[in-house]
Structure 1
Amino acid sequence: MNLRQLPALNALRVFEAAARHESFSRAADELFVTHGAVSHQIRALEDELGTPLFLREGKRVRLTDVGCRYAKDVRAALISLADATREVREGQRARRLVVSSVSSFSARWITPRIGRFIERYPQIDLELLSTNVLTDFTRDDVDVGIRFGTGPYSDLHVEALLDEVSFPVCAPTFNGGALPKTPAELAACPRLLRSDDQMWRPWFQAAGLAGVPEPRRGVLYQDSSNLLQATIDGQGIAMVRRSIASHELTTGRLVRLFEIDAPSASSYWFVCPPPLLASARVQAFRAWLMEEVASYRAQITARP
């Protein structure tokens, strides 16, 4: 049969719903269209086929014998088409890996390294979600999360990735290259701020200067990437987490001031729903991520 002679798929969907309900109104409700649209589609289909499919009895309709036989065949064909479509979609989803991460970590730690994952696993379609909203795996279409917090996280597979410390950084050209020589000098320097962090006081305490307060004035940055860019541009000195600044320190766009760390109560964690852990795409990402973490740890051990 010439497939171009088939009725329009939309008309067949409308007919199948109307035949199943034996009601144009209920079919219209199911398909989110008007009663008139269903009636028009059915009438056009009957004209195309050259035979009535429904008997109209006032406001009620019922299938003719031809309509009843045709409805069974159409329903079987649509079910077969739906099954084939589902199999294709499931195959596509098996190749798609959705990873949710804190925005700053995604931009500053994952992105500079992710090319190696893409080269190794070209068959995986990776989607990186950069968000500071905690992923709800029961609701969100996410395979893996990288969380920054104190852990643990119930009902999830959880593995520790990285501990974190903070320290001050600035551009090498800050203040004309005349950088502070002692921690005490930092108190008088322009210090850049994160709106949701209290990171300066713990560092000064670690440096033996417990009386230095948090800065009270200046621009508040919601996003660590914007904070780092302002620091690179020489606008001041920022207190940053090591993982967020590592790429800029390696490239020389930023320099670290003093070998003093302020420890963080929060760490980075690899999390995913237990049923997804065994999937090939999650196993591939986990293996790559653990390799990158091991390499990063070796680098910071060799080069503080």
Structure 2
Amino acid sequence: MSDFRRLPNLAALRAFEAAARHQNFSRAAEEIHLTHGAISHQVRALEAELDVALFVRHGKRLAITPDGEQFAAAIRQSLQDIAEAAERLQKHSKQKRLSITSLPSFAARWLSPRLGKFIEHYPDLEVSLESSNHLTDYLRESVDIGIRFGNGHYPGMVTELLMGDSYYPVVSPRYHGGQLPQTPQELAASYLLRCDGEPWEPWFRAAGVDAEEPTGGLVFQDSSMLARAAVDGQGIALGRHAIVQSDIETGLLQRLFDIEVPSTVSYYLVYPEVSLKKPQVRAFREWLLAEIAAAK
């Protein structure tokens, strides 16, 4: 087994290789950000350790010895091998990780339940799903691709429309002992759950109900929390289709009436242009577009 403790000082080896390549201590010092004196000191220490002259000095002139030339070639090849191994490792690491950001409600209710199907096709890929309502600095936070619910204006990013959405009332079948509103007017008089930024008034107008926006009570900051409260029978919620669809399919929620209003904002795929150079990002994008097409 090799004893790596017998290796000469690695900093000295790097200094010597640069000096040998340039045949000049000053230029070697500039390359690796050291002083001329530091290069000279490390080369002399290496010569003393090896008990071999690596350079012949004639005043300010410097000439490498045959032994030095041979040793420098071996070091250069070794450093190149290390650099190539590190590059392969970096590429391999980048190819095996995918970082996705999404608003919490969409991540929890729509994306996360479906991601298993994507991972089945790429079992060696590590997928990181981050949920946040805040704008993301993709490069600084090492995020590859994101899904946002907004107006599609994300400067400096590639933006693709994924799908729109719509709102309609949903309620637990167990709410009020199963005695659910039979008309929109009865619904307006019920206890209505609200989510910040998703008002009831547009639905009231579409349903022909002369009612004002509810006031008082608990206002949720996240649509998935609103849906959870409705499932728990706390009241009737104005559900966003993408968020409540799974609960309707499993019978945890029931849709009230066939009246719905379109959302004024939509879901967008957002990513830096450089992200599409990664095969895992391209694969996720294609899979996501296919999933959305199938869900329509």
Q: TM bucket by the smaller chain?
A: 0.7 to 0.9
Q: 1:28-54, CA deviations, whole angstroms, 9 ceiling, x for partnerless residues?
A: xx9xxxxxxxxxxxxxx9xx999xxxx
Q: How does 1:292-303 map to 2 (within 5 A)?
A: 292-297=291-296
Is 1:184 equivalent to 2:185 in the alignment?
yes
Superposition TM-score, scaled by structure 1 size? 0.73
Conserved in 2, the CA contact under 8 Å of 1:146 and 1:271?
Answer: yes
Q: Which amino acid aligns with 2:205?
A: Q
How far 1:124 moved relative to its partner? 2.6
Is 1:113 equivalent to 2:125 in the alignment?
no
Conserved in 2, the CA contact under 8 Å of 1:198 and 1:214?
Answer: no
How far 1:295 moved relative to its partner? 1.3
Q: Which amino acid aligns with 1:264?
A: S
Q: 1:80-101, CA deviations, whole angstroms, 9 ceiling, x for partnerless residues?
A: 5354223202211122111111
Conserved in 1, the CA contact under 8 Å of 2:158 and 2:270?
Answer: yes
> Structure 1: how far apart are the matches of 2:245 and 2:293?
15
> Structure 2: how far apart are the matches of 1:76 and 1:156?
41
How far 1:74 moved relative to its partner? 7.4
Larger radius of gyration: 2
Q: Where do 5+ consecutive residues of structure 1 fail to align?
A: 23-29, 31-44, 51-67, 298-304
Distance 1:258 1:49, change over 3 A: farther
Distance 1:5 1:292, change over 3 A: closer
Q: Where do 5+ consecutive residues of structure 2 fail to align?
A: 19-24, 26-32, 34-45, 52-67
Distance 1:183 1:7, change over 3 A: farther
Query: Aligned pairs, how many?
Result: 273
> Structure 2: how far apart are the matches of 1:5 and 1:119?
42
Q: Which amino acid aligns with 1:238?
A: A
Question: What is the SS of the residue equivalent to 1:235?
Answer: coil
Partner of 2:128: 127
Deviates more, 1:156-165 or 1:74-83: 74-83
How far 1:184 moved relative to its partner? 1.2
Question: What is the SS of the residue equivalent to 2:293?
Answer: helix
Q: Which amino acid aligns with 1:97?
A: L
Partner of 1:63: none
Partner of 1:202: 202
RMSD in angstroms over aligned alpha carbons?
A: 3.9
Conserved in 2, the CA contact under 8 Å of 1:166 and 1:199?
Answer: no
Partner of 2:160: 159
> Structure 2: how far apart are the matches of 1:186 and 1:13?
76
Conserved in 1, the CA contact under 8 Å of 2:109 and 2:246?
Answer: yes
Distance 1:233 1:211, change over 3 A: closer
Question: What is the SS of the residue equivalent to 2:233?
Answer: coil
Q: Which runs of 4+ in 1 moved over 6 A?
A: 14-17, 68-76
Partner of 2:217: 218
How far 1:156 moved relative to its partner? 2.8
Distance 1:14 1:199, change over 3 A: farther
Deviates more, 1:78-87 or 1:170-179: 78-87
Question: What is the SS of the residue equivalent to 2:113?
Answer: coil
Distance 1:198 1:105, change over 3 A: closer
> Structure 1: how far apart are the matches of 2:248 and 2:12?
63
How far 1:265 moved relative to its partner? 0.9
Superposition TM-score, scaled by structure 2 size? 0.75
Q: 1:242-287, CA deviations, whole angstroms, 9 ceiling, x for partnerless residues?
A: 0011111111111111111121110011122223325321221122
Is 1:172 equivalent to 2:173 in the alignment?
yes
How far 1:149 moved relative to its partner? 0.7
Distance 1:85 1:172, change over 3 A: same
Conserved in 1, the CA contact under 8 Å of 2:192 and 2:214?
Answer: no
How far 1:152 moved relative to its partner? 4.0
Conserved in 1, the CA contact under 8 Å of 2:199 and 2:213?
Answer: no
Q: 1:175-218, CA deviations, whole angstroms, 9 ceiling, x for partnerless residues?
A: 000001111112221112223x1421111111112432233x11
How far 1:160 moved relative to its partner? 1.4
Deviates more, 1:203-212 or 1:104-113: 203-212
Partner of 2:64: none
